[in-house]
Structure 1
Amino acid sequence: MRNIPNFALLRAFESAARLKSFTLAAHELHLTQSAISHQVRKLEDYFGSALFVRQNRRVELTLEGQRLLDSLSRIFDVIEAACAEVSLAPKAQVLALYCAPSLAVKWLGPKLPQFMKAHPDITIRLTTGAGQVDLTRMRELDMSICYGTMSERAGIINKPLGTERNVPFCSPKLITPGVDPGKLIKEQVLIDSQLNNVTWARWFKLNNLRLPARPRPSFDRAAMSVSAATDGMGIALESTRLAERELERGDLVELGKGMFKEMDVVTHTVSWRANENQVAKIRIFRQWLYQVANVEPDSMNERK
């Protein structure tokens, strides 16, 4: 048994607190005003503290009441969304997807409308997080797209989302025509991406250049590094997949393209449960995902 008060009391309180009126709450819940007042009073007795300050024809929340409303609002939103999913059309499906934040914001999110248009019966429920997730334990998730490579785990299929080109890029405002890119990269501010395995030290060594010994601004999200470079802060060393839109628009330009050696690495891994390999929504989404990523999934080794 969960140690929580009767749901009807919580519902009455949430309605009255949100509408700031017992009368409006009674109308919304098809009850009488006295019934709402009685239920709120019972909830206050349960907590042993006042939730409302009763005033003439209106009510105001106490600090305890505001704290309860803030939490209940989030919980009721989740309940409402869950009920909406259950009541979807019989053919409709919800795909619960977990994704690395920068990939979600800079690459996947802008492409999802085309998936939704092509597959209107599949509703995407997207959550983001920097850490890797265990799909054997987090059964509420259908798939994950995590940063880095995933450890082998029984019952889980892991496939890289192809390789990503990591190159230096910056705002065109920082480039002076005729200036050698090698000279420019030694003089301009270099932006660090803290979580990226492709570091400036590795890049300079690969290109037989000496890394300048000066402080570098750093960010813990690739999306922030891309944005900083777009704003003209300096030169970022990041995945061109994450900077795809900025490069296409000309907000960023690749520095020394064809001149410097590139670093192509596996940056993101797609995972799903092996026993759900042929579930329609998972199969359809991953086929679409690899298509827009220009990756042939059969060329990637499956690890179960």
Structure 2
Amino acid sequence: MRKLPSLPSLRAFEAAARLQSFLLAAEELHLTPSAISHQVRSLEEYFDTRLFTRSNRRVELTDSGRRLLATLSPAFDMIEEACRDLSPKTAAESLSVHCTPSFASKWLGPRLPAFMREYPGLTIRMSSSAEPVNMLKEGELDVAIAYGSVRAQAGVVVEALGAERIAPLASPRLVGDRFQREDIAKLTLIESKLNPVRWRDWFRENSLKMPDRPQPSFDRAALVLAAAVDGLGVALESVRFAERELASGELVIVGEGLYRPIERETHFFCYRAADRSSRKIQQFHDWLVRESRRLACDE
């Protein structure tokens, strides 16, 4: 006969320790924070040792708590995996993904057919907006691909999708064959309002004086690139977004080799820590990472 503390108390402790919050654990397990606290206290009484230190509404694991979590989390992952394998399989599984409109149309969308061929049993449900989403409040979302910068949030895992090259892009008609380093200041500079790298940053990085004149601006990378293709001026954008235009020759990287390259991590894969063992999320994550690395090798 196994001698174990109650399973509910172990589940409550594991969730609270993993999420570093009694409140988040309560939301995950559909309990009240006081119920989580009661279960944790009963476990501490069972072991006759403190598992958390509590101060000013914060909880931190003790050494004993860290040892217990290191064993419990893998054990619960194995139990969940075994139950999933024995559960009836549905004909199709869906993954709800949220990202910015430009990432959806310029990078992810063109690659989705390849993903669907690799994972025919997984259907992508995509939504997009420029506004950031709260993964803990948007329960219908499985994954969010954030753009720009992401604030750390307890209960949410955030992983960068690799560094991206930010470069000046323009129609070859604007650049010509004898482009000099200082010539970029003579072109119309199109501002991409959401890009974390702005023209002033680029000019400073390349030790050049930025021209003092008005700049047309757009709030979507797709619009910025379309304006550059139409010859409005030179766009400062991620090469990741301009794959098709560069391949077709509609755009070129201005002054290739003349300027100091700028690379930034600008896209981030986000999901709830409670879904860490989700197979569909892991499959989508691994596929995105492979695609991002393939692009980096091609640049």
Classify the TM-score, shorter chain: 0.5 to 0.7
Output the CA distance in 2 between the equivalents of 1:179 and 1:158: 41
SS in structure 2 of the partner of residue 90 of structure 1: coil
Residue 98 of structure 2 is matched in structure 1 by 98
Residue 57 of structure 2 is matched in structure 1 by none
Moved more, 170-179 or 218-227: 170-179
| Counterpart contact for 1:131–1:146, Cα < 8 Å | no
Residue 125 of structure 2 is matched in structure 1 by 125
Matched, 1:107 2:107: yes
| Counterpart contact for 1:171–1:253, Cα < 8 Å | yes
| Counterpart contact for 2:148–2:195, Cα < 8 Å | no
Residue 272 of structure 2 is matched in structure 1 by 273
Output the CA distance in 1 between the equivalents of 2:182 and 2:108: 35
Instruction: Please give the per-residue CA displacement for 1:221-273, whole angstroms capped at 9, x wherever unaligned.
Output: 11110111111111001110011111122111001112101111111111011
Deviation (angstroms), 1:208: 1.1
Residue 174 of structure 2 is matched in structure 1 by 174
Deviation (angstroms), 1:145: 0.2
Letter in 2 for 1:214: R
Percent identity between matched residues is 43
Deviation (angstroms), 1:91: 4.1
Deviation (angstroms), 1:206: 1.1
Residue 5 of structure 1 is matched in structure 2 by none
Residue 139 of structure 2 is matched in structure 1 by 139
* Superposition CA RMSD, Å: 1.5
Letter in 1 for 2:153: R
Matched, 1:190 2:189: yes
Residue 283 of structure 2 is matched in structure 1 by 284
Query: Gaps spanning 5+ residues in structure 1: where?
Result: 1-88, 296-304
SS in structure 2 of the partner of residue 109 of structure 1: helix
Output the CA distance in 2 between the equivalents of 1:135 and 1:269: 13
Residue 84 of structure 1 is matched in structure 2 by none
Residue 47 of structure 2 is matched in structure 1 by none
Residue 237 of structure 1 is matched in structure 2 by 236
Deviation (angstroms), 1:132: 1.2
SS in structure 1 of the partner of residue 178 of structure 2: coil
Output the CA distance in 2 between the equivalents of 1:277 and 1:178: 53
| Counterpart contact for 1:189–1:216, Cα < 8 Å | yes
Output the CA distance in 1 between the equivalents of 2:129 and 2:201: 27
Which stretches of structure 1, 4 residues or more, deviate above 6 A after TM superposition? none
Q: How does 1:156-171 map to 2 (within 5 A)?
A: 156-171=156-171
SS in structure 1 of the partner of residue 293 of structure 2: coil
Normalised TM-score (structure 2): 0.67
Output the CA distance in 1 between the equivalents of 2:260 and 2:108: 27
Residue 255 of structure 2 is matched in structure 1 by 256
Letter in 1 for 2:93: Q
| Counterpart contact for 2:148–2:194, Cα < 8 Å | no
Residue 213 of structure 1 is matched in structure 2 by 212
| Counterpart contact for 2:179–2:255, Cα < 8 Å | no
Figure out how many residues of one structure are paired with residues of the other and give that number: 207
SS in structure 2 of the partner of residue 294 of structure 1: helix
SS in structure 2 of the partner of residue 242 of structure 1: helix
Output the CA distance in 1 between the equivalents of 2:113 and 2:249: 23
Query: Gaps spanning 5+ residues in structure 2: where?
Result: 1-88, 295-299
Normalised TM-score (structure 1): 0.66
| Counterpart contact for 1:230–1:251, Cα < 8 Å | yes
Letter in 2 for 1:166: I
SS in structure 1 of the partner of residue 241 of structure 2: coil
Deviation (angstroms), 1:163: 1.1
Output the CA distance in 1 between the equivalents of 2:149 and 2:219: 18
Output the CA distance in 2 between the equivalents of 1:124 and 1:195: 26
